[in-house]
Structure 1
Amino acid sequence: MDQQNKPGVLAVVVLGLVQILSWGGSFYLMAVMANPIVAETGWSQQWVYGALSTGILVSGLLAPLSGRIIARTGGRLLLALSGAVMAIGLVIMGLSHSLLLFMGAWAIIGVGMAMGLYDALFATLGTRYGGQARGAITSITLISGFCTTLVWPGTALLIHLLTWRGACFAIAAMLLLVLPAYFYALPNRSLALKPTAQAASAPQQDIAPSLFWLLCAIFTLASVIMTAISVQLISLLQASGYTLASALGISAILGPCQVGSRIVDILFKRGHPIWTAFFSVGLVALGLLLLALFPQLALLSMVLYGAGNGLRAIVRGTLPLAMVKPEAYAVVVGRMARPALIGQALTPLAGGYVFETFGASATMGLLCALALLNVALVMVLKQRLPARPASVP
């Protein structure tokens, strides 16, 4: 493949910034906005967070359809319109004075998430550039690794200046920049690998069912663990004897560790992505086991966990890319995204039940068991990989 047939540096930077805006206007929004919404409306916090779960669930249900559309069209227009769909959802959210309308707004945001977050972008890049997309995927996740660092303080500032409703309108306006950004970063002339209707209709010919379901299980377990830790880490640390201030300080190390691990992966990008998967699940398991057995080493455990979790997004994009043909990649990734996103949507409810019913120790034990199971699944996948060169640069 022609070496020029990959995104340029400026295009990759633009795509990374667009992902920060897209994730910040959807998945990460409620972390800062939930409390002001509850305070103003009086709605139950459980229902307010449940709206986010609704969005994730809708995104998961639509992910295979998104993959098929990308396989047929190349994905450029779908990605470009994702910002407008999220913006519509945010405007409705800002106008919501009933919980039902609020939930409906998040269903619309979920449609935008299926159109424009990592899975859709990675599918588009894989379809366009084949193995050459790996470097771009890693670089994009490196840039977007700063998402919460930028988005949470920025959202808090908008809420302070404009109230949460005004912040919804302001973020919706910024999301309109997504369309020209994608049109710039993904010009038509870059479409090196023409998508076909045949690829969109028969992805099963390009990956064995056993490998497909192994990948689904690995990605779903990784997503469930990540979501559970994101929701419950502070509570788990406090249950281990840390003060709220200490727990917040320890959790702050996750972001830099995620970015650091992605930089390391860039240095070793010519290795097969299965090794990135090994490091990812292994570091996550080691970090969680360390926290469960030696809570006094929580800082070190979060360094390990953060590094492993940072590689998770890269593995989602690059491991399937090394296993299927580029023209079928979008459909396969879309199908794989559904169970992972549905798992993410259900995790806060299930995790909350386990924590409330059985306590922090049982919750940590369950997370450690899931992490060790994921290590075993990656080992099985390694044994079953076809003995052929990966389509990586």
Structure 2
Amino acid sequence: MAEGGVASGASGFQIIALGTAQTIAWASSAYLPAVISQPVAHTLGVSTSTVFAAYSFGLLVMAALGPVIGRSIDRHGGRGVLCFSNVVFVAGLLLLGSASSLFMLFAAWAVIGAGMALGLYDAAFAALVRQHGTQARLSITGITLLAGFASTIGWPLTSAVVAASDWPTACLMWAAAHLLIALPLNWRTLAPGASLLPSAELASATAHPDDIAGSRRAFVLVAVFGTATSFVTSAMAAHLPGLLQALGVAAGLAIAASALVGPAQVAARAIEFVASKRLRVHPLSTARVAVTLHPVGGLVLLIAGGTLWAPALFALLHGAGNGLITIAKGTLPLALFGASGYGVRQGVLAIGQRLAQAAAPFLLALILEHWGGGVAILLTGALSGIGLLALTGIKRTASAAPIQ
């Protein structure tokens, strides 16, 4: 693979390899608590909400490290960061699998949180933009297209291992996947460094002073959109099967419906891939459509939740919207602000997102325990509405990033 791939974008092999590595990273981190929270709580003698509090603590660690990691990728490229993430994931998962106290549980999720900061989408997107510049949009979509299967693979596979053995074995399985699969893929497919973006592209990212105020306003609105939707994404990733059960859906049907999130994400991302390539649809349009799907699905679920098809439809709509939102979080800042400083900018945007992600599992656990699934649906639908309002205030005109 050529190192100077700014003009041509990522190769097909690089997209497949990084997509596979991202699938493992997401399945072994964000999609892990939904399955193992109850057996972990039983083993340690704590409440399920306490287990999610430990996961939220890991997300706080992730938020704190984001800007530093983004700046490092901007300066040095992403191979070292992503490969190191696999090592950190292995350490965190082994620590989690051996946790015998509340302190060890929180310590394990702190380490996994560092791995998430080093190795999830923000870092992968920054590595692609650092290497391919503005041509990275299709690569970002391609990687999320594959990693959309993380929940579809992760939830059933983790559940099967827990049922056949126990939850520490599931942690060991994912640690092995990082070491034997994800680490070699990240090492093989990312260049050891990254050539600087062409001077013309750097120049295009420099704003006229008159554009700075508009740029800052757009940046704030993008941050609001990202924060609001991150709460919804994190809440559903951690609680979707439990949320459906809280609404009266049978456990088997809840798991089966939740597994539809992955295919819906992939289908939506495939449509976006075609639309962005052939129709040149702006990421802002993608984001506006995406953020409406979760509340529409929630409304259907509240009205017709007693039917067999309503949970599946909700999962499909949520999955499609979440799949497009993930792409928009990577491509919208690139389209609005350019490639220069992309990594650190994403790191700053991610602070609010990670804080929301950290709060969501614990808060939604409390809501489900005390007020039920209906209140949870109303909350996540309202936050999606806030994200949509923020997007309506953004113009498509690209301007310089307010953060360098």
Residue 197 of structure 2 is matched in structure 1 by 193
Which of 102, 110, 115 is residue 113 of structure 2 equivalent to?
110
Partner of 2:391: 378
CA distance in 1, matches of 2:68, 2:285: 30
Aligned equivalent of 1:93, options 68, 93, 96: 96
The amino acid that maps onto 2:387 is N
Moved more, 258-267 or 283-292: 283-292
Contact 1:216 1:336 in 2 (8 A): yes
> How far did 1:237 drift?
4.1
Quick check: 1:56–1:342 contact (8 Å CA) kept in 2?
A: yes
Shift of 1:96: 2.5
Q: Within the alignment, does 1:179 sit opposite 2:183 as a pair?
A: yes
Match of 1:260 in 2: 267
Give CA deviations for 1:182-240 in whole Å, capped at 9, x if unaligned: 22111247645289xx99xx999798221111111101111112233344444554565
Amino acid at match of 2:71: R
User: Any stretches of 5+ residues in structure 1 without a counterpart?
Assistant: none
Partner of 2:24 in structure 1?
A: 21
In the alignment, residue 229 of structure 2 is paired with which amino acid? A
Find the counterpart in structure 1 of residue 342 from structure 2: 329
Unaligned runs of 5+ in 2: none
2:29 alignment partner, SS class? coil
Of 46, 51, 63 in structure 1, the residue corresponding to residue 66 of structure 2 is 63
51-60 or 203-212, which deviates more: 203-212
- Partner residue, 2:283: 273
The corresponding residue for 1:287 is 297
Give 1:229's aligned residue: 236
State the one-letter code of the partner of 1:140: I
Q: Which runs of 4+ in 1 moved over 6 A?
A: 202-207
Aligned residues between the structures: 383
Decide which of 19, 26, 30 is 2:33's aligned counterpart: 30
Q: Distance in 2 between matches of 1:75 and 1:302?
A: 33
Distance of 1:91 and 1:206 partners within structure 2: 48
- The percent identity for this pair of structures is 36
Q: How far, CA to CA, are the matches of 2:104 and 2:142 in structure 1?
A: 38
Distance in 2 between residues matched to 1:141 and 1:106, nearest whole Å = 24
Instruction: Report the AA paired with residue 104 of structure 1.
Output: A
Aligned equivalents of 1:205, 1:388: Cα separation in 2: 8
1:110 CA displacement: 0.7
Contact in 1 for aligned 2:63/2:355 (Cα 8 Å): yes
Q: Deviations over 1:276-319 (max 9, x none)?
A: 11111122232223333454572434433321122111111111
Greater shift after overlay, 294-303 or 168-177? 294-303
Residue in 2 that maps onto 1:123: 126
1: CA distance between counterparts of 2:368 and 2:109? Answer: 26
Give the whole-Å Cα distance in 2 for the aligned partners of 1:257 and 1:67. Answer: 29
* 8 Å contact kept, 1:129–1:326: no
The CA distance in 2 between the partners of 1:258 and 1:336, in whole Å, is 23
Residue of structure 2 equivalent to 1:318: 331
Q: Are positions 1:78 and 2:81 aligned together?
A: yes
TM-score (norm 1): 0.87
Decide whether aligned partners of structure 1 residues 77 and 308 sit closer, same or farther in structure 2, where only a CA change above 3 A counts.
same
CA–CA separation in structure 1 for the residues paired with 2:374 and 2:172: 42
Distance 2:24 2:76 in 1: 24
Q: Under a length normalisation based on structure 2, what TM-score does the superposition of the two structures give?
A: 0.84
Query: What residue is the counterpart of 1:153 in the other structure?
Result: 156
Aligned to 2:50: 47
2:377 equivalent among 351, 361, 364? 364
Q: Which residue type is aligned with residue 108 of structure 1?
A: V
Partner of 1:140: 143
CA distance in structure 2 between the partners assigned to 1:228 and 1:352 by the alignment: 9
- Give the C-alpha shift of residue 114 in structure 1: 0.3
Provide the C-alpha distance between the structure 2 equivalents of 1:153 and 1:136, rounded to a whole number of angstroms: 28
The verdict on how the C-alpha distance between 1:154 and 1:287 changes in structure 2, with shifts beyond 3 A counting, is closer
**For the structure 1 residues 378 and 97, does the alpha-carbon distance in structure 2 shift closer, same or farther, using more than 3 Å as the test?**
same
Instruction: Flag the 1:59–1:180 CA change in 2: closer, same or farther, 3 A.
Output: same
Q: CA deviation at 1:37?
A: 2.6
Contact 2:138 2:273 (C-alpha < 8 Å) held by counterparts: yes
1:250 aligns with 2:257: yes
